[in-house]
Structure 1
Amino acid sequence: MSFVKAILDLAIQIQQIPAPTFGEGPRAEFLRDLFAKEKLEDVSMDSLGNVFARLAGKQKKARALIVSAHSDTVFPAGTRLEIKREAGKVFGPGLGDNSIGVAALFGIVWGIRERKIELKRDIWFVANVGEEGLGDLRGMRGVVERFGSEALGYLVLEGLAFGHVYHRAIGVRRYRITAKTRGGHSWSDYGNPSAVHELAAMVAQLTQMRLPREPRTTLNVGVIQGGTGVNVLAAEASCELDLRSEDPAALAKIISQVEETILHWNREGIKFQAEIIGERPAGEIPADHPMVQLALECVQEQGVEATLTSGSTDANIPLSKNIPAVVMGITTGGGAHTVNEFIDVEPIGKGMGSLLRFVEGVGGRMKDEG
């Protein structure tokens, strides 16, 4: 079996085990057993569901490289996880984000052994929970807390990111906004406030806010719900709001504007509440950092142009604590977070080649001081 086929087959195996955020348990147990079969050391699972395994390096006192991939998906339990293949692509919900990333953890182990790469330092492989949605990076928060200053840095794997190197973490603030009224009958109580109408009007006002293009700043209402019937003045309605920016100051400004807007919608007969349901801290390492430069070189060695970029990923947590971290990918594809998600097969070999060069090179490029 070819190296690429083995990784792809494992990715499909992983993808077939449902793993919605907060429901990663069965997939985590599968991965723990796989790490054990690979005869890695210190295989364990923590109380969150993060799975750990260590591949020993030559220098026992050197700080370890942490290589992680999130095991959760955005798809709720019950989603059809059908796999389809056509013209160099494989389709399947969650296959690119992030089953191929998790499979790459094992691909790195196989590649190190096959190429007889001598590691200068330990590598910890981590399949972590809670990256998506309301998981709020809880898995990676636990990982970073566990390793603390013992980590040299983090290589975070995102399945569809090949050709990009993330070194800047976008700050994110998420709210659940709830509107409440007395409610009533759509005919006899007409003229009284409806929570659905009030919330919709408030959301429309939010979407009219002028956001800066530079630094890039975004606002999105991704979920809205409420009411109990077509002829009922809704007593309650809610939405979930996502705010992002490359710049902490710009994010703080839009947060202030949003909170002020929500406050002003409160009046007699209508009450608005805003609950923070997620917060992803910003952070970055400079483009000339040795880890960033190594990641760029490793991608470019595969004959692929490498682009520096920013994003909201598990890397937010170490970067926010001034711990070096980069995100690299395994392949390309599209349709992420939809049932039509797909990966391209051909780039997998190059993506894995770049990751193997990175874990081999980081031992010589990165120093243990500070």
Structure 2
Amino acid sequence: MNDIAAIFRRPKVQIALAGFRDQLESAIGQIIAIQQIPSPTFAEEKRAEYIEGQFRAIGLKDVFRDSSNNVYGRLPGHEPDRAPVVLSAHLDTVFPAETDLSVDRKDQVIYGPGIGDNSTGLAGLLLTARTIVEHQLPHAADIHFVANIGEEGLGDLCGMRIVVDRFGGEATYIVVEGGLFGRLVHQAIGVCRFRVDVTAPGGHSWGGFGTTSAIHVLGRLIAAIDDLTVPTIPRTTYNVGIIEGGISINTIAHSARLWLDLRSEGKDELDRLVDHVREIVAEMNEKHMVAEDGVQIDMVQVGDRPAGNIDRQSPVVAYADAALRLVGADEIRYMASSTDANIPLSLGYQSVCLGLTHSGNAHRPDEYIDITNLPAGLGQLLLVTLAIAE
């Protein structure tokens, strides 16, 4: 491993780190400029266009957008045959395009939808690239900067799957999130998501009383799922996040639907949980087929985020830990999460997800970042990148 402390002590690097502190307001302006561009999952084009323009203005090479709207740019190293470093941050947010994106600042805290997740992460890509270029910081390996689509919700990490297919297992992947400063994600939580559709004859609530209701069937299904026992180690969870159905209060529902989220830190445990839910659905379908009551339950998978992990002593994780200590992080925690890093981690590739500052209320209109640690978070990202690319 390269000596990250020696990199930290280099005069040019010290000047660059001081710049993150001295130019904090400029960094905040960059974050807000990104946050003001709506970027719902599957509709990231406008934000992708902005990032592409910024990549070109910085002077990155081979800047382009692929057919999915992932944005790429490259800083050539002086040893181009070396395994590359890939820095990525996701373009999309959970907020619809019509969301009011107004920002409110109270001292060190800035509020706004998507301000942390992931406008700050995207700004981190731009600021890191700009700093390396402006201060002419040397690196042997090529550094690829990628703003990818489809991290949130039903995006199912589709953008990152394309990125990893492109760069393969030789690359080291650094996934950047706006929050999570002091947290190192080297373990990917597996997530399987399903849509369950129920159809039934339906009818009038008075005249058709006794006819099976799709909503009532859905309720029994939810109750059966809620009766499942799951392990606490590795942590395993289930959640029915959305239920839909019916057309009026006095109609026996002809159709109903639920959206189910299943998670585990362990692949085998997640597989078993999925099997249990499938068994519940199969048993209920069998019961209704015998009853000949016209009920059908269909379970369709809509998401599959693979689990995986690498050891804490892996080079990229060790560098990230060392970088946090060098920039003065008060506390360092290793954790499991569901992020774009799931894709490389599930394949055993060198990857870590790290954050740039403290944040809160993610996926809420009153989401916020506390900028106190932003210079340190940017410093961490710069140091990790230079150490791996050394």
Name the TM-score, length of structure 2 as normaliser: 0.91
The alpha-carbon deviation at position 337 of structure 1 amounts to 0.9
Say whether residues 1:287 and 2:312 are aligned partners: yes
3-state secondary structure, aligned to 1:210: coil
Query: 1:143 aligns to what?
Result: 163
Query: 1:206 aligns to what?
Result: 225
CA contact (8 A) 1:7 1:100 kept: no
Q: How many residue pairs were aligned?
A: 363
3-state secondary structure, aligned to 2:175: strand
Query: 1:333 aligns to what?
Result: 359
What are the equivalent positions in structure 2 for 1:229-308 lying under 5 Å apart?
A: 229-266=248-285, 267=288, 268-269=292-293, 270-304=295-329, 305-308=331-334
CA contact (8 A) 1:144 1:318 kept: yes
Structure 1 residue runs of 5 or longer lacking an equivalent are 365-370
Query: 1:196 aligns to what?
Result: 215
**Amino acid corresponding to residue 107 of structure 1 in structure 2:** L
**Amino acid corresponding to residue 332 of structure 1 in structure 2:** H
Say whether residues 1:124 and 2:144 are aligned partners: yes
The alpha-carbon deviation at position 362 of structure 1 amounts to 1.2
Query: 2:10 aligns to what?
Result: none
The alpha-carbon deviation at position 82 of structure 1 amounts to 1.5
3-state secondary structure, aligned to 1:347: helix
Cα distance in 2 for partners of 1:109, 1:122 equals: 12
What are the equivalent positions in structure 2 for 1:66-85 lying under 5 Å apart?
A: 66-85=86-105
The alpha-carbon deviation at position 322 of structure 1 amounts to 2.0
Query: 2:178 aligns to what?
Result: 159
Cα distance in 2 for partners of 1:337, 1:200 equals: 27
CA contact (8 A) 2:104 2:112 kept: yes
CA contact (8 A) 2:172 2:349 kept: yes
Cα distance in 2 for partners of 1:44, 1:86 equals: 37
CA contact (8 A) 2:142 2:389 kept: no
Structure 2 residue runs of 5 or longer lacking an equivalent are 1-18
Cα distance in 2 for partners of 1:14, 1:320 equals: 30
Q: Bigger radius of gyration, 1 or 2? A: 2
Cα distance in 2 for partners of 1:318, 1:207 equals: 32
3-state secondary structure, aligned to 1:240: strand
Cα distance in 1 for partners of 2:368, 2:74 equals: 31
CA contact (8 A) 2:265 2:336 kept: yes
**Amino acid corresponding to residue 358 of structure 1 in structure 2:** V
Q: What percent of counterpart residues are identical?
A: 42
**Amino acid corresponding to residue 354 of structure 1 in structure 2:** Q
Query: 1:225 aligns to what?
Result: 244
3-state secondary structure, aligned to 1:346: helix
Cα distance in 1 for partners of 2:368, 2:220 equals: 37
**Amino acid corresponding to residue 384 of structure 2 in structure 1:** F
Cα offsets for 1:67-109 (capped at 9, x unmatched) = 0000001112211111111131101111111010001001101
Query: 1:172 aligns to what?
Result: 191
Moved more, 105-114 or 70-79: 105-114
CA contact (8 A) 2:58 2:133 kept: no
**Amino acid corresponding to residue 254 of structure 2 in structure 1:** A
Say whether residues 1:17 and 2:37 are aligned partners: yes
Moved more, 249-258 or 261-270: 261-270
Query: 2:235 aligns to what?
Result: 216
Query: 1:323 aligns to what?
Result: 349
The alpha-carbon deviation at position 241 of structure 1 amounts to 0.5
3-state secondary structure, aligned to 1:265: helix
CA contact (8 A) 2:143 2:389 kept: no
**Amino acid corresponding to residue 283 of structure 1 in structure 2:** G
Higher relative helix content: 2
Say whether residues 1:363 and 2:382 are aligned partners: no
Query: 1:368 aligns to what?
Result: none
